[in-house]
Amino acid sequence: MQSVSTPSLGHILKGLINSQNISAAEVARRADLSVASLSRILNDQTNPSFESVTRLARALGVSLDTLTSPDAASQTQPTASTYPLQAIYTLENTDHTPDTATHLLTQAAQGSWVNSWTHSLVSPNIAQPAVAKAEQVGTRRLQLTLEFPHELLERGSLVSLLSVAGSALTGTGAKLLDLRIPEPLLRTFNGPAFGPRGLRDTFNKHGRPLLACTIRPMYGLSPKMYGRAAYEALIGGVDITADPTLMHSIPSNPWRERFRFVAEAAAAATRETNEFKCHAVNITAGTIEDMQERALWARDLELAMVMVDSAAIGWSALQSITTFCAKNELLICAMGGRSLAGDTLSEQLQAKLLRFAGADVVSTGSPLRGNVSNRRYVTGVLNALRDEHLPQAADMGHYVEQPLAGLTAALPAVGGGHNPWHFARLLDAVGTDTLIQCGGAIMGHPGGSLAGATACRTALESLVQAQNEGQNLNVEGRHILQKASRYSPELKTALETFNEGSFLFGVVTSLPKPTEGSVIPHGTNPSPTITPFRRPDASTPEPTNED
């Protein structure tokens, strides 16, 4: 029997280069390899590293399996049949039993409520969506696991995943909790092009969290003053300044003018501080072509980072723009996704999908808000972005185990109104491999955004140094900050201005104190049977027993 030889990597690369009609020099440029190195790989004169193969796959726009498994079409089918897509659903406040719920979701997933004559044309051996598990998990609450065959899924498409998993939601009242994507399908997603390591190498900052500031106010500033505000924060010690999610292109601040001024601000701050500074410009627009135009404009202005409102542009546009930014060597941040969290998609599932889509930085909530359960909830979001394997942990929002097949991690951007008082507990909760957002604490400092940035940078570095020396930040964090404030008037002012433990986001402040006139409408006589409470006058003598 004649054996079939497996084509070499060089042979596969030559076929892909010829089919895409591009030059070897262009492939070498995209993959950040020398032409000589690529020539040796094409001629099978060297055994390239895994990182080089990954770069070549990204440069050619193909999956890693295409280069490492030339017969992937015949290998994927049995593997994916063994490990189908698993979707976890819940039915709340329902009178259904597990059996009736199984029948309900199966019919919805198959898209067929009645039998028709076309069913007789379908092979009885074809794989169909089926419920693998249905159980009662609480009072009037069910949890079901559906398995979808790989034939229903498209390679490297988040839209395919969500449309297939969302088919069981139609008319059933179910909610999607989690997805388990099989490894053969998972390897068809690109993932982040840079990730935490790429960001740290770009900024040359290792061993501490990156510090970011969103420019405030969100609207009302001219492009020149907007750039000035970014410059003040950058020279004060912030690594990254960013546009708000609603700052697209408005008449008072058009995107071309804004990009130009913030690029000048970042370049000037880099020269003055001898540290790499960057501003993440918002490229969110109505069409993908407009977003690509703004991304190219940012690249030409030497801005290394862009951001999009992932909740507004949709999953298809997100995958398109992340692929475009990866080819143009731009870091991309996915902000605003938390607005979708709730009944539609859990925040943990969103974080997982944003990582699959290729976002380098993903906005997350604060683990310091709420009780212990909220901290576990946010920890589940952070794990979905950073870990190499996600074990099943329902209290963290992971209802099924998920292997990640070596997918590059994404850097979580933790925000939610933090000020320097929070940094000690925040470092203990999220670690150093993160990005801390401090918009209000920097822009709202009494001394201005430059002083606010200096205060946050001083607090952050003093706490990281103390942690490296073995001190417990939860116990000694207050003392560490007070000690550092002796040598930093900016930090001292910040600690005196912001209340310990209070947040600057999602909290109602600066309201007038209620009075009798504000509680009782003007011109309305109170009921004669109710005496309004009046604070006793200090000049009125207190009654004595003799009275």
Contacts (Cβ under 8 Å, ≥6 apart) of 378:
364, 365, 366, 367, 429
If one counts the domains in the chain, the total is 3
Together in a domain, 470 and 433: yes
* Alpha carbon distances (Å) from 425 to 221, 382, 483: 34, 16, 17
Same domain, yes or no: 87 and 37: no
Both tokens of residue 67? 């280069």
Kindly report the CATH number assigned to the domain that includes residue 147: 3.30.70.150
Residues 181 and 262 in one domain: no
d(CA 181, CA 186): 6
pLDDT number for residue 361:
96
Q: Which residues in the chain show pLDDT less than 50? A: 1-4, 72-80, 508-511, 516, 518-519, 530, 532-533, 538, 547
**Is residue 515 in a domain?**
no
Residue type, 141: R
- Cβ-in-10-Å burial (0-12, 13-18, 19+) of 125 comes to exposed
The confidence score (pLDDT) of residue 6 equals: 66
> Is residue 149 domain-shared with residue 233, that is, in the same domain?
no
| Residue position matching structure tokens 């591009």 | 22
DSSP states along 308-357: EEHHHH-HHHHHHHHHHHHHTT-EEEEESGGGGBTTTB-HHHHHHHHHHH
347 and 408: one domain? yes
Residue 1 lies in a domain: no
pLDDT at 25: 85
Does residue 534 form part of some domain?
A: no
* 480 shares its domain with 448: yes
209 and 176 belong to one structural domain = no
> Which of 141, 159, 186 delimits the end of a domain?
186
Same domain, 156 and 29: no
Tell me, yes or no, whether 479 and 390 share the same domain.
yes
Q: What is the pLDDT of residue 382?
A: 94
| 77: CB partners within 8 A, 6+ apart | 150
Q: 3-state class of 172 per DSSP?
A: coil
Q: Bridge-partner residues for 449, per DSSP?
A: none
Residue 216 burial (CB count, 10 A): 16
Q: Could you tell me the CATH number of the domain that includes residue 25?
A: 1.10.260.40
On whether both 388 and 457 belong to a single domain, the answer is yes
| Residue 435, domain member (yes or no) | yes
**What pLDDT is stored for residue 13 in this prediction?**
85
* Residue 255, token pair as written in the block: 């995107």
User: Domain for residue 4, yes or no?
Assistant: no
User: Are 51 and 92 members of one domain?
Assistant: no
- Burial of residue 497 (number of CB atoms within 10 Å: 0-12, 13-18, 19+): middle
Is 2 contained in some domain?
A: no
Specify the DSSP class assigned to residue 200: H
Q: Residue 510's pLDDT is what? A: 47
Q: Taking the CB of residue 426, how many other CB atoms lie within 10 A of it?
A: 23
Domain of residue 143: give its range: 75-110+127-186
Supply the pLDDT for residue 109: 85
CA 436, 440, 441, 445 dihedral sign is positive
Residues 218 and 353 in one domain: yes
Give the relative orientation of helices 288-300 and 315-327 as an angle to the nearest 10 degrees: 30
Tell me the sheet residues that pair with 278. Answer: 240
Tell me the DSSP string of 222-260: -HHHHHHHHHHHHHHT-SEEE--TT-S-BTTB-HHHHHH
472 within a domain of the structure (yes/no): yes
pLDDT for the residue 48: 84
The CATH code of the domain that includes 312 is 3.20.20.110
Residue 431 lies in a domain: yes
